[in-house]
Structure 1
Amino acid sequence: MFGLPYNKFQKVIEIITLVLILCQIAYTAVSYPQLSSKIPTHFNLAGEVDGWGGKGTIIILVVATVALYILLTVSMFFPKMWNVPVKITDQNRAIVFKYVMNMILLDKVLIVICFFYMTYCSISSISMGWWFTPFFLISVLGVTFYYTIKLFFVK
């Protein structure tokens, strides 16, 4: 099967993700001419700036966001390549596909939110805050673990 239909929840998450990417691109494009020649390019685990680079490096965050979005979206079109912890049968196929698609879509929107925030912090030359790394890890891994555990209970 090539490509799976989205339910309403999945469509909403996909639209939110796309809008956030477009906002990140627009924000970067509008901010770029006013950027200092040197901007933060790296943050430590405490969210403090510990690396600087030229203003052109902000494009890397936008490209990384779009690349991750495309990679995760393409992976949704090839369900036969998914590695799930249960045997997929005709009886459980719909629920397994729903769970995996929800997981990918939610991880996608969380990644885009985090990369947009990193872009904002770099453009604004502010620290990300101590909470950013735990939030990023707990949210993305939490969604992944949640749906993986749900898959174990699919019959």
Structure 2
Amino acid sequence: MNKWLSKIDYKKVNMIMDAISALSIIGMIVCTFFLWQNSPDRVPMRYNFNGEVDTYGSKSSMLILLFIDVICYIGIALLSKYPEVYNYCVEINEENREKQFLMAQTFMKAINAEITVIFFYIQLHTLMGITTGRQNLSVGFMPLFLIILFGTIGFYILKSRKSK
């Protein structure tokens, strides 16, 4: 039995990652505009490493994270369509080209899904915190975010090197 995902499996995983990314973006847009009307003029803008609010801004500052998330989503989604422009940690040749390109596309789509979900979580937590009065992120948020992000990067590098 082949220990690698087949081309069809990669495409299924990629479709799932695309759906997660798109749903996160849509959810973020809907939540932002749905909760916008009831938001006060002063809202949390930045959190420190402990998850505590350390900067407040105007109500319109909530749109900054939304804008950044949408730009990242579009940029990474477009970039994922062109794996031939990436830098690889292994030499690309005719034998490994398809596998490396599929793995790289899946990696980019996974990163896109992670970023959009994390930004959605931060935005939703901020908006819900405004209404409930609890405006701190959990202390475990930043370490968990870093573990997920760097775990994905490490996993991709290991798989890529194994599949020379």
TM over 0.5: yes
1:112 aligns with 2:116: yes
Measure how far apart 1:79 and its partner are: 1.9
The two structures have a TM-score, normalised by structure 1, of 0.92
1:72 aligns with 2:81: no
1:152 aligns with 2:161: yes
Secondary structure in structure 2 of the residue aligned to 1:34: coil
1:134 aligns with 2:156: no
Measure how far apart 1:124 and its partner are: 2.4
Post-superposition Cα deviations, 1:113-151, rounded to whole Å, max 9, x if no partner, equal 110111012212321111111111110111011101111
Measure how far apart 1:74 and its partner are: 1.6
Alignment-mate amino acid for residue 95 of structure 2: Q
Measure how far apart 1:25 and its partner are: 0.2
The two structures have a TM-score, normalised by structure 2, of 0.87
> Would the aligned equivalents of 2:89 and 2:160 in 1 still touch at CA under 8 Å?
yes
2:55 equivalent among 51, 66, 74: 51
Alignment-mate amino acid for residue 97 of structure 1: F
1:82 aligns with 2:111: no
Post-superposition Cα deviations, 1:66-88, rounded to whole Å, max 9, x if no partner, equal 11111111211222210011111
Displacement over 2 Å in runs of 4+: none
Alignment-mate amino acid for residue 113 of structure 1: V
Q: Percent identical across equivalent pairs?
A: 26
> Would the aligned equivalents of 2:84 and 2:101 in 1 still touch at CA under 8 Å?
no
Measure how far apart 1:24 and its partner are: 0.6
Q: Which segments of 5 or more consecutive residues in structure 2 lack a partner in the other structure?
A: 1-7, 130-134
Alignment-mate amino acid for residue 145 of structure 1: G
Question: Which residue number corresponds to residue 93 of structure 1?
Answer: 97
CA RMSD of aligned residues (A): 1.4
2: distance between equivalents of 1:76 and 1:117?
Answer: 23
Secondary structure in structure 2 of the residue aligned to 1:133: helix
